Structure 1
Amino acid sequence: MNDLSGAGNSGRRVCGSVPASLASVLAAVLFLGITYSLFILVVVHNALLLAAIMLLSALVVSFVLWNLLSYKKNLAILCFVDRLPTSDLLSASDGQLVKITGLASCGDFALESSYEKVQRCVYTSTLLYENRSFWCKILSAKNHHSVPMATSSDERYYCWKLTYLERFSADFYIVDAKSGIRALVKAGYDSRIVPLVTEKLIVNTTNKSRMVSSTLKRWLEQRSMPLEARLLRLEEGFIEEGDSLTVVGMLNKMNGSIMIVPPPNAISTGCLPQKLLLPVDFDGIVLRFSTTRT
């Protein structure tokens, strides 16, 4: 079993191939441009240059914010995986970066999802979010003094903070849908993994119902977490045996066996100008699972 709970940003690094000094240089240029424009405005009374610089600054800030949002949603890696052609394991050579899609089956060790207790999984993740915003504290104080609670529409403005994370993976087999060959995916102990798995909302305590259910209470107790009523969101994702997923990794052919292992070095997605995305480096086997569960 591979504990990925402390993996942080899951082996990703934004702008890995872009010089770190570029942002500082760009900020300095914009600052000098705005300063010079203000000087022209005061001396010549011409606001055209200032307006142009401000527009350029707004575009740059929007570009940076877009890339930060896309980074959180793994958009660059998703685009990279989608553009990567599907490999043929019959003709692929040893050490080649391959992309295969097929059905997963458990190896020697099977996982169980943390909250829903789904068995025979090859990957599981459970995320607990808590609302600790100032707005939430105000609502809590009001509710304590019998003031009517906020409506559900207010919840859209809450800022959720990740307070607990469980993420595990294990070695598993995948049957390539293209060639029918079964390969062992080395996602187990000490393997570098980049999971692209969307978690499903399981528990959502609102202002109208902050009571912790018995199942959630037991789950919190097992992890020595506080049990008091509060705004919580619990999301869970998993790849179950029999699910179809896409795996990107390095092909390893040894002693007649076929394995997918982490690449030796980080891989860059490259710039994606059509999406206005900066390059992102990722390090490890990519597991993409996008099936929506009901």
Structure 2
Amino acid sequence: MGLGVSIFILVVVHNAAFFLSLLSLSALVTAFLLWNSLNSTKNRALLRYLHSFPDSDLRLARDGQLVKLTGVVLCGSVSLESSYEKASRCIYTSTVLYEYRELGLMPIDANRTGFHWRLAYTERFSTDFYLTDTKSGMRALVKAGPDCKVIPLIVESRLVNTTQKCSTLSTHLRKWLRDRNLSAGAHLLRLEEGYVKEGSYLSVIGMLQRSNDTVTIVQPRELISTGCLWKKLLLPIDIDGLILGTPERLAQ
């Protein structure tokens, strides 16, 4: 579109310098938008915002304040189990399945990344849990159950990556696929799973609620904006939900 407008102006105005300037500006704007689109898929703006958010002191934090806590996770009355690895005593689990799709006459290459892999299935679950804050030593109840919007920044590990030489899938994988009404035939697929087990370190950003001696972290009532990150040429994004992330992930 920018090129078309530039050519139109060149024809009408007959000014080559103006045409080149407008063409360069269009290229810069396009590159800027593509850069932000690429980074949004990797949550880079969100990760940098969270990394810069200081840990709060529960002893001084006020009711209704947005806080960030980092500490050890303890399961509440309900714990989760990851669907593929069957990891128990979890407070968050996610399993993602990608299928490889050939584009036109392009030969299949399972080592390629990006546009050739299509998201075929995903499941993510979280539950209420306790977190012992390392800064204050206090324990807080984190409301991350079904009624809460959760924004997870949890790394998912690749567990299955089939190849063209794979003529049949494992029994466990076939059962997992059939239980979810997915194709269990031999094809190129990639399965990744992530979870947070009891005893893990976790960072949480949410709104503080105090009631007598009970400290609870809940989903913020309003959207949170990351603001513009000009040094990284990143536009602001809005955050709607309770944020969970491992300290190592937030530091990236």
Q: Give secondary structure in 1 for the equivalent of 2:87.
A: coil
Say if 1:205 and 1:95 are closer, same or farther in 2 by CA, change over 3 A. same
Contact 2:55 2:67 in 1 (8 A): yes
Say if 1:64 and 1:158 are closer, same or farther in 2 by CA, change over 3 A. closer
Say if 1:98 and 1:151 are closer, same or farther in 2 by CA, change over 3 A. closer
Give the one of 3, 12, 16 matched to 1:47: 16
Identity of aligned residues (%): 48
Question: 1:172: which partner in 2?
Answer: 129
Shift of 1:133: 3.0
Give the one of 132, 135, 148 matched to 1:191: 148
Distance 2:114 2:211 in 1: 53
Distance 2:114 2:62 in 1: 51
Say if 1:252 and 1:57 are closer, same or farther in 2 by CA, change over 3 A. same
Which structure has greater helix proportion? 1
Give the one of 1, 8, 31 matched to 1:35: 8
Give the one of 22, 25, 32 matched to 1:56: 25
Amino acid at match of 1:37: L
Shift of 1:96: 0.2
Contact 1:101 1:246 in 2 (8 A): yes
Q: Give secondary structure in 1 for the equivalent of 2:32.
A: helix
Say if 1:211 and 1:39 are closer, same or farther in 2 by CA, change over 3 A. farther
Amino acid at match of 1:35: F
Shift of 1:255: 2.6
After TM superposition, the structure 1 = structure 2 runs for residues 83-98 of structure 1, keeping only pairs within 5 Å, are: 83-98=52-67
Distance 1:64 1:175 in 2: 41
Question: 2:195: which partner in 1?
Answer: 238
Distance 1:195 1:75 in 2: 13
Say if 1:273 and 1:38 are closer, same or farther in 2 by CA, change over 3 A. farther
Distance 1:283 1:34 in 2: 42
Contact 1:197 1:290 in 2 (8 A): no
Q: Give secondary structure in 1 for the equivalent of 2:80.
A: coil
Give the one of 254, 266, 269 matched to 2:223: 266
Task: Flag structure 2 segments of 5+ consecutive residues without an equivalent.
Answer: none
Question: 2:93: which partner in 1?
Answer: 124
Shift of 1:156: 4.5
Deviation string, structure 1 residues 32-69 (Cα, Å, up to 9, x no partner): 555213434xx4xx533222222111111111011111
How big is the alpha-carbon RMSD for the aligned residues of Structure 1 and Structure 2?
Answer: 2.1
TM-score, reference length from structure 2: 0.91
Contact 1:248 1:286 in 2 (8 A): yes
1:182 aligns with 2:139: yes
More deviation in 175-184 or 211-220?
Answer: 211-220
Distance 2:153 2:40 in 1: 12
